[in-house]
Each structure stands twice: as structure tokens, then as C-alpha cells.
Structure 1
């Protein structure tokens, strides 16, 4: 695994968690909505007998477990990434990595925070990637 791939894992995991939360909110809306009864005669032998909201609640509980696991993984990964970044000697390089991979700031936001132009931020970032030493047992998500 390359350094940039390792550091970028937290961002991807955070986006997956956000997507799961949005899906869960949608399921909650479905579970609390009332559907109108159907007056048509239906003859199906394989129909699920559970109400629709029950299936939504089961899916919500599954998603909550998944989200909790993902959050635990994200916390552990970010802690490991912080330790790796703190080993970079140059302060500017360390701050670029921290803002980019821990706080998920854009290049423009990082430049604003460090009072540097985009080219300087890119230069610090590229130099920092060369100074990062991956842990012996990197967390892989």
C-alpha cells in the first residue's frame, strides 16, 4: 500500500459512513410513514407476512450496527494516521497532512489556514508524502 492510499482511507470511510447515515434516515422516514391499505384481492403464497415498517426497522438496526463498526474503525484509523503524521519532522509538511487527511480540508482551505498559495501547499504535500513512514501493521479498510 502506498502512503497516499493509506492516508486517504479515512476520507473514504467517512464518506461511506455518511452515505449509510443518509440511507438510515431514509429508512426511518419510510418506517414512520403510513401506507394506505390495499383493497385489491391479492393471492400470493410467498408473500412476507411482516409489515413494511418492520422490515424497515430491521434494516435500520442492521445499518446502525454497521455504522457503529465503521465509526470504531474510523477512530482507530485516524488515531494511527495522527501518529504517522506526527513523525514527520517539518511542521509545514505535518500541518498539510493533518489538514488534508485528518480534517479533510480542500487544498484551498489548507492554503488559507497556512497562509500559502496552492503551489506551495502542493510542494509541502509532495515532500511530506516522501517523509511519511507507514506503520508495520497499517490498518486497511
Structure 2
């Protein structure tokens, strides 16, 4: 695995968590739309589905999955942080932290570090070469 791929794992996991959170939001909206119709007519005996109950079960399962992913993200960020901290160059550390732990865009990093874009890309290449990926 290359340094860029290793460091980028946290961003991809964060994106998956955000996607699942959006799915929960969508399921909550769906659950709010589910209504019961109460009539004097007997229900269809072949209709064995409880749509509200099914939706709530899916929401709970997805929320548990999100919590596991968040735990994994926290652990992964801690591991990436220690890998970045092992680099002797403070500028490289800062750039890698901003990019791979704070998920900042290149333009934002350039402004924060007061560098031009070419210097940011050069520093990034240098920083990636200094990363020692744990086995």
C-alpha cells in the first residue's frame, strides 16, 4: 500500500459514515410518512409486513453500524496521527494533518500555510516520501 492510500483511508471511511447517516435520515423521513389506517374491516391475512417496524429495525441496525464505523475511524485517525508524528519535518507533519486528518482541500491548506499551490504539491510529495507505513 502506498502512503497516499494508507493516509486516505480515514477520508474514505468518513465518507461512508456520512453516507450511512444520510441513509438513516432518509429512513427516518420514510418512517414519519408511514401511517396506519384503522377501519372496521379485517386486515389481509397474507399481509404479514409491519412497514413501520421494519423501517425502525433498519434504522437501528444502520445506527449500530455507524457507531462501529465511527469507532474504527477514531482508531484509524489515532494510528495515522502517530505515523504523521513520526516524521521529523514539522511542515510535512502539518500538511499531512490538514489533508488527511482534517480533510482540508489543497486550496485551504495553501492559504493556511501561506504557500502557493506548486509549493503545496511539492511539500506533499516530500511528505509522502517520509511516511513510514506500519506493517
The alignment's TM-score, normalised by the length of structure 2, stands at 0.90
1:114 corresponds in structure 2 to 113
2:15 corresponds in structure 1 to 15
Instruction: Provide the aligned length of Structure 1 versus Structure 2.
Output: 133
2:90 corresponds in structure 1 to 91
1:60 corresponds in structure 2 to 59
More displaced 10-residue stretch of structure 1: 56-65 or 28-37 = 28-37
1:125 corresponds in structure 2 to 124
Give the 3 Å change call, closer, same or farther, for CA 54–43 of structure 1 in structure 2: closer
The alignment's TM-score, normalised by the length of structure 1, stands at 0.87
Q: CA deviation at 1:92?
A: 1.1
Q: CA deviation at 1:35?
A: 3.5
Contiguous gaps of at least 5 residues in structure 1:
137-141
Report the RMSD for the aligned CA atoms in angstroms.
2.0
User: Where in structure 1 do 4 or more consecutive aligned residues deviate above 6 Å?
Assistant: none
